[in-house]
Amino acid sequence: MSLPIAEAVQVFLDHCRIAKCLSAHTLRAYESDLGQFTAFAGSSGTVRDVERDLLRDYARFLFDQEKLKETSVRRKLATLKVMFRWLESEEAIEITPFHRLQMPIRLPKRLPKALAPAEIRDLLLATKRRCLDSDDLAACAFYLALLILFATGLRVGELTSVRLKDIETEDGVILVRGKGNRERRVYLTNKDVLAVLKAYLRARRSVAGADPNGRLLIDGEGIPITAQRLRRQLHRLALLCGFKKRVTPHMLRHTAATQLIEAGVDIRFVQKLLGHASIATTQIYTQVSDASLRATLARANTLGRVMR
């Protein structure tokens, strides 16, 4: 008897949570993507009913009815592909319907959105003032979070998952658990950032009820600060600074990578810092650097000066 799709989804999510130790954020994304496919395929459908034509129909549905962008459609299909590959390995199906399926989805080539140095200064100065003018631990935690994100290029979910035991304050080392539960170390080499970290940790110890072994970032009530809360704070801060564009924590990651590449840091070191499994992912930032070079040359306009 073939496994119902809804049941297969639940078993797969349990596998991802227990065996693969995926983050809560990734699990929510998987659950949402697979739930949408289950609704499309029908509650009475089984995994053996899923064939190539159904997958093609689903892709058309996502484009034509849901009006999703290429990146979203590709992600949803990739989630399905991972689940069916696992079902094949578990012998719940003989072969995945994605086997030799030709359904390429070309993504528009977009460079990562990074902030300009002046924008970085505006954000940090505004946050620093709020931290210094307030006894609110949450304001200082937010300032520290921005400094670490700019300095290390951490994903916001990685940062909010950091616990006190993961930090070596004297050496400025943070142990990070990234995608696929892979561990890596990032380094805080700036003395000012280390000073802010130590001052924040002293203030954190004075919070009644704060878990001494808990998350690094907490508010004045001892409640851990979530990734979503940081996103909202950053959005509000950007509005207060008069930014026209929406600023996200991932833009800080792109900014950190871009700054390092433009400073001449070897791309292999940037790859390790960001936790990219493939250097091909990191190479996109060399294109950002080329774009910056072009803009710099245009502003210099050396030939134009000579021809005047």
Asked if residue 141 and residue 35 are part of one domain, the reply reads no
Q: Does residue 127 fall inside a structural domain?
A: yes
Asked whether residue 225 carries a pLDDT value surpassing 70, the answer given is yes
pLDDT at 288: 66
Q: Does residue 53 fall inside a structural domain?
A: yes
Asked if residue 244 and residue 156 are part of one domain, the reply reads yes
298 versus 296: which is more confidently predicted?
A: 298
Report the percent of the chain where pLDDT is more than 70.
92
CATH of the domain at 141: 1.10.443.10
pLDDT by residue (tens digit) across 163-220?
999 999 988 999 998 877 788 999 999 999 999 999 999 999 999 888 888 999 999 9
Q: Which residue has the tokens 């070309």?
A: 106
Asked if residue 155 and residue 218 are part of one domain, the reply reads yes
- At 300, is the pLDDT very low, low, confident or very high (cuts 50, 70, 90)? low
CATH of the domain at 13: 1.10.150
Q: Does residue 266 fall inside a structural domain?
A: yes
Q: Does residue 112 fall inside a structural domain?
A: no
Asked if residue 125 and residue 260 are part of one domain, the reply reads yes
161 versus 110: which is more confidently predicted?
A: 161
Q: Which of 69, 89, 109 is the last residue of a domain?
A: 89
Report the 3 state secondary structure along the chain.
CCCEHHHHHHHHHHHHHHCCCCCHHHHHHHHHHHHHHHHHHCCCCEHHHCCHHHHHHHHHHHHHCCCCCHHHHHHHHHHHHHHHHHHHHCCCCCCCCCCCCCCCCCCCCCCCCCCCHHHHHHHHHHHHHHHHCCCCHHHHHHHHHHHHHHHHCCCHHHHHHCEHHHEECCCCEEEEECHHHCEEEEECCCHHHHHHHHHHHHHHHCCCCCCCCCECCECCCCCECCHHHHHHHHHHHHHHCCCCCCCCHHHHHHHHHHHHHHCCCCHHHHHHHHCCCCHHHHCHHHHHHHHHHHHHHHHHCHHHHHHC
Q: How many domains does the chain have?
A: 2
pLDDT at 200: 95
Asked if residue 131 and residue 41 are part of one domain, the reply reads no
Asked if residue 218 and residue 182 are part of one domain, the reply reads yes
Catalytically active residues, by annotation:
155, 179, 250, 253, 276, 285
Asked whether residue 280 carries a pLDDT value surpassing 90, the answer given is no
Asked if residue 223 and residue 266 are part of one domain, the reply reads yes
pTM, two decimal places: 0.70
Least confident of 15-29, 254-268, 277-291: 277-291
Asked if residue 138 and residue 13 are part of one domain, the reply reads no
Q: Does residue 305 fall inside a structural domain?
A: no
Asked if residue 232 and residue 138 are part of one domain, the reply reads yes
**Rounded to an integer, what distance in angstroms lies between the CA atom of residue 231 and that of residue 249?**
6
Q: Rg (Cα) of the chain, in Å, rounded?
A: 23
pLDDT by residue (tens digit) across 36-95?
999 999 978 899 999 999 999 999 999 999 999 988 999 999 999 999 999 999 999 999
Asked if residue 158 and residue 64 are part of one domain, the reply reads no
Asked if residue 224 and residue 286 are part of one domain, the reply reads yes
Q: Does residue 70 fall inside a structural domain?
A: yes
pLDDT by residue (tens digit) across 230-253?
999 999 999 999 999 999 999 999
Q: Does residue 230 fall inside a structural domain?
A: yes
Q: Does residue 111 fall inside a structural domain?
A: no
Q: Which of 46, 70, 89 is the last residue of a domain?
A: 89
Q: Which of 89, 105, 133 is the last residue of a domain?
A: 89
Least confident of 20-24, 147-151, 160-164: 20-24
Asked if residue 160 and residue 212 are part of one domain, the reply reads yes
Residue 14 sits in which domain range? 5-89
